[in-house]
Chain A
Amino acid sequence: MIKLFSVKEKAKKDAAAANGKQQKTTAGELRVQKDISELDLPKNVSLRFPDGNDKIMNFEVTLKPDEGLYKGGAFLFSFAVPSGYPHDPPKVKCLTKVYHPNIDLEGNICLNILREDWKPVLTITAVIYGLNFLFLAPNADDPLNKEAAQMMQQSPAQFERLVAQSITRGCSIGGDYFPPCRGERSS
């Protein structure tokens, strides 16, 4: 324990001394700075900061799978990093409408490290690798798009054809139209 105040002298602290030289940043932002400066991305992923270099809590990621069923497509994601980062995970949505068992038509993504398995030691890089993996190995056991998951399980060949067709030319599947996946925002 240390003595901070000298009561006898009624020492009042120099109230003027708030040094303004240390620009205010939140601990969450400091951590994102570290994550971004150390990003180690696979070749098929690119990142964009629509609000400028100094607004890094929101950004967009484009992923172009280089193998697997989704090869040939390009998918746009939005990342919104909450101020509680890294205690809280980043919020990620898929902005390109895609026929995928783990992504629903609103762009919600079922990826464990984005929710139940998030740990503060994980990084933006880890999340991007997780997304990449989701396109290499879609998982019918954790469905968000149930129709796609059933198709994948019951008629893998047909599922493969539908994926290929939807991402390259676009097509309707079960009443929903999937435009070609060119890394754009589907409205």
Chain B
Amino acid sequence: MGLEGRWRDIDYLLTRQGNVVGPGFEPGPEIREFLQNDCRVLVVGAGGLGCELLKDLALSGFGNIDVIDMDTIDVSNLNRQFLFRMHDVGRSKAEIAAQRIMQRIPGVSVTAHHCMIQDKPLDFYQQFHVIVLGLDSLEARRYMNSVACSFLEYDEDGQPDLSTIKPMVDGGTEGFKGHARVLIPGVTPCFECTLWLFPPQTKFPLCTLAETPRSPAHCIEYAKIILWPKERSDDSFDADCEEHMKWVYEKALARAAEFGIQGMTYQLTQGVVKNIIPAIASTNAIVAAQCTLEALKMVTMCSTGLNNYMMYVGTDGVYTLTTPYERDEKCPICSAGVSYEVSPSTTLQQLIDGLVADPDLGKHLSAPSVSYGSTNLYMRGALEGQTRHNLEKPISELVDGEGSVIHVNDRKLVSAMKVRLKFNGTNGHMET
């Protein structure tokens, strides 16, 4: 393959000034060198969006790409997940995608991680300059959001410390609709700030399913959520197991016949159980292209970035709308929180009293509860009796030392307040 002139178009962008460049853009050949040699980008998901993202990023000059996906290739993926072939069925999506990109695009290094996103330690995610999400579940997005936001620190003035920002670009598609958004923790809204953007899954009333089913979907849901636990309580249902899916289909079919409901198919059963909305290849391509451009702009500043959410609707022609959503200042995940200075020997009770008496913080507190990660240090309500004994303990015994972040809950607060503990006292620093 001739590589002459391969980067001509990218170089037009990176080596010349322009009217729409981003703040602090300094054109020059070093930018492309940085993209190719030093910049690390992680693609989360190697499915429909992931394949497009990997191809686009590699062709845009990103030289070091990692990709993580726990899935294996299914025959139904092949129509749009174009990096995969028939003989790849059953193999790791991440590994095959990485191989194919490296075969087709010389000079690019792609590292595959065939595992769950939860399996990787925080340090793994820390090494990337930018993380691009090609996911299909809110759950995985929320997880990646908590990872990216966990690196964020604020300075004394409550401004985000730029060196701790782990930016993400998120793409999503559902049939002919899609979105691309830019998440810069501390600057643009995180997923938790705008959780309402994700519509709840439509659910049918249980009594409708049980007594008055009117559609094939009602019968399928009935078979899965009522009949399965009743008749197969020893097996946990696995949507990827063909035998399980067939069982649900047959039960649903019998139920549909009983109620005179037409239109039951195995495919529909899969669709309802897995909540599948048919994926459209062109939607993936459009959204991935936008995400790649945003990653490129974020890293190089060659143009101003998306602010901060673009929706795309391809049902009637092409419609896009960009909306600058706002952060939730009280977001328990990405908000600044507050610093609070205590002596390591302060008891939890004294800490709580101090917070309530504090002229600023006290305004939002009346009867606080305190957690540290998953550890509930002092909880009012149902756990009061079980956690009361911690009140007498010094705080240094309950947390991991200087800089620990505790969460304070109170009826007066909309969501948990993050409090970063600073230890004062004789040694200045506390060893733990």
Contact = CB atoms under 8 A, between A and B. Distances in A.
* A, B co-complexed: yes
Contacts of B127: 15
Interface of A: 1-5, 7-8, 10, 12-15, 17-31, 33-34, 36-41, 47, 49, 53-56, 59, 83-84, 87-88, 102, 104, 106, 108-110, 112, 114-116, 118-120, 142-144, 146
A42 to B, nearest CB: 13
Contact of A34 (B25, B142, B375, B415): B415
B165 A7 contact: no
Contact of A38 (B22, B164, B409): B409
B195 interface: yes
A27 B146 contact: yes
B361 interface: no
Interface in B38-85: 38-39
Contacts of A59: 382
B203 A115 contact: yes
Contacts of B229: 106
Contacts of B413: 34
B206 A47 contact: no
B125 to A, nearest CB: 8
Interface residues on B, range: 35 or more
A37 B167 CA distance: 33
Nearest to B163: A13
Nearest to A104: B210
A33 B333 CA distance: 14
A19 B196 CA distance: 30
B142 A84 contact: yes
A53 B386 contact: yes
Contacts of A37: 369, 371, 379-381, 383, 409
A3 B383 contact: no
B381 A38 contact: yes
B301 to A, nearest CB: 6
A143 B229 CA distance: 19
A144 B207 contact: yes
B335 to A, nearest CB: 12
B7 interface: no
Given A13-B163, A23-B372, A106-B230, A7 B26 contact: yes
B307 interface: yes
B195 A120 contact: yes
Given A4-B162, A4-B165, A54-B374, A33 B379 contact: yes
A109 B192 contact: no
A23 B373 contact: yes
A115 B142 CA distance: 21
Given A1-B305, A7-B26, A37-B379, A27 B207 contact: no
Given A27-B332, A84-B138, A116-B205, A19 B153 contact: yes
Given A22-B404, A30-B332, A8 B203 contact: no
B340 interface: no
A108 B226 contact: yes
B248 interface: no
Q: What are the 10 closest A-B residue pairs judged by CB atoms, nearest first?
A: A23-B373, A37-B369, A39-B381, A142-B207, A3-B24, A47-B382, A110-B207, A110-B206, A115-B203, A21-B403
Contacts of A12: 38
